[in-house]
Structure 1
Amino acid sequence: MTGRLIYLIGPSGAGKDSLLHFAREHVAGTLVLFAHRYITRETGHNENHIALTREEFAARSAQGLFALEWSSHELHYGIGIEIDAWLARGCTVVVNGSRAYLERALKHYPHLEVVHIHAAPHILAARLSARGRETQEQVAARLARQAPFTLPDGAHLTHIDNSGSLEQAGEAFVDVLKNFARAQQAHQPTPAVRAGGESVK
C-alpha cells in the first residue's frame, strides 16, 4: 500500500465527529479521504456513519467486507474494505477508530498514524450530557471507566487538545492532515508525461 492511514481516537465527548466534519470541509478536493463507519445504531449530528441492523452488520462481516471491525458498549463498528483501494491509490485515509482496538489495527496497518483527540474532564462530561443519549449517572459511569490511554510500542502519535473552540482544534487537525498528505505525495513517483501534458499511468 502506498497511502497513509490516519487513525483518529479519543474518549467519548472529545469531539471527534465535529473535528472530522470541520476537516472534511477544509480539505475538500484533496487526496485526503474520510472513511464511513458502519454502526449498529442510528447516526447522530455530524456523524459520517452508515447505520446497519445487527443482521446486516453480521452478513457484511461474514463476507469479509470490513477492513477493521470492533464492538463497544453493545454496538458493532466497522470500516469498509474500500479503504484498501484508496490506500493503494496513494490517498491519505482518515478513520474514526477505537482506542481499545488500536493494537489490533496496527497489526493490519503497521504504519498507521495515530491522532489522539482529548479534552478536559469537565468538558467531556458537559458534551456527553448535551448529546442526550445517557442519564447523568450513565455519563458519570462512562467517564469513570475510561482507562488512561497508552500507545502501543512502535506507533506514532499526534495529540490535539479540543477543550477550547472547534475552530482552534479543527485548524490544528487540518494542518496535521495536510502535512501527512504532503509528505505522502512527496514519496509518490512522478508520473510520466506525454507531449501536451497528459499524465501516463
Structure 2
Amino acid sequence: MSDGRLFYVMGPSGAGKDSVLTWVREHGVAFGVLCAHRYITRPAHAGGENHVALSEAEFQSREQRGLFALTWQAHGLHYGIGNEVAHWLARGANVLVNGSRDAFRRACERFPTLQPVLITASPECIAQRLMARGRESPADIEARVARIAAYPVPSGSMVICNDGCLADAGATLLQAIRSGH
C-alpha cells in the first residue's frame, strides 16, 4: 500500500476555504478523501468550520504531550492538526488539512511531500464576504485585504479561484486529489 497525499489548503480569510472544504467533505467520501479536523481554542458554537473546540489548558496539555503534528497561533487563537493525520497518510488516505499560510514552512518540514493548495478570490469578493460574516470592523477588513498581496504563492501550489460557483471550486480541488495532482 502506498502512502496517501496531504493537501495543505490555505488562503486569506474570506476566500472561502471552509466552504470549499465542506463541499469536498460532502462529495469526496466515495473517493477516500479524509478532511482533518482542526483543534482550536475557539468555542464550538462560534460558527465557521467543523472543529474540535479546546480550552487553552486542554490545548497546552495536548501540545506538551506531543499529540499534534502541527500547531500555530493566529488571531488570538491556538490551532492544531492532530497526529492522526500521519496515521491516515500511512494507510493510503488522501488528507485535506485547513492550514495556515504562516505555518506552511513548518508543515513542509513535517510532511515533505504535501501538495500546497491556495484558495483565493478577488479582493472585492473577499471584502464582501468578510463584511457579511460580521466579525471584523471595516478597518480590520481593509487590513486583511491589504495583507493578501503580502503572501507569495508557494512554489508548486495549486491555485483555485473561488469567486464564482462553490461547486466549481470544490470539484476542481476534488479532481486534483483524485488525479494525484
Instruction: Please report the TM-score for the alignment, with normalisation by the length of structure 2.
Output: 0.92
Q: Distance in 1 between the 2:139 and 2:156 partners? A: 35
Matches within 5 A, 1:185-196: none
Aligned pairs for 1:30-179 within 5 A: 30-43=31-44, 44-45=46-47, 47-152=49-154, 155-179=155-179
Letter in 2 for 1:31: G
Q: Which residue of 1 aligns with 2:10?
A: 9
**Helix, strand or coil at the partner of 1:145:** helix
Distance 1:72 1:128, change over 3 A: same
Q: Distance in 1 between matches of 2:148 and 2:85?
A: 29
C-alpha displacement of 1:120 = 0.2
Work out the number of aligned pairs and report it: 179
Distance in 2 (alpha carbons) for counterparts of 1:47 and 1:151? 24
CA distance in 1, matches of 2:173, 2:105: 22
Hey, what's the Cα distance between the residues in 1 that align with 2:31 and 2:167? 20
- What secondary structure sits across from 1:41 in the alignment? coil
Seq. identity, %:
49
- Work out whether 1:20 is the aligned partner of 2:21: yes
SS at match of 1:156: coil
**C-alpha distance in structure 1 between counterparts of 2:16 and 2:48, whole Å:** 10
Q: 1: distance between equivalents of 2:29 and 2:3?
A: 21
Distance 1:61 1:144 in 2: 32
What TM-score do you get using the length of structure 1 for normalisation?
0.83
1:136-185 C-alpha deviation (Å, 9 max, x unpaired): 22211222234533245xx53101000112122122122112212xx8xx
- Structure 1: 5+ residue stretches without partners: 184-201
Aligned-partner Cα distance in 1 for 2:136–2:145: 12
SS at match of 2:106: helix
Q: Distance in 2 between matches of 1:95 and 1:159?
A: 15
Instruction: Return the structure number with greater relative CO, CA threshold 8 A, min gap 6.
Output: 2
Contact 1:21 1:46 in 2 (8 A): no
Q: What secondary structure, in the 3-state scheme, does the structure 2 residue paired with 1:38 have?
A: strand
The structure whose residues are more often helix, as a share, is 2
| Two-structure CA RMSD over aligned residues (Å) | 1.7
Deviates more, 1:142-151 or 1:160-169: 142-151
**Consecutive unaligned residues in structure 2, runs of 5 or more:** none
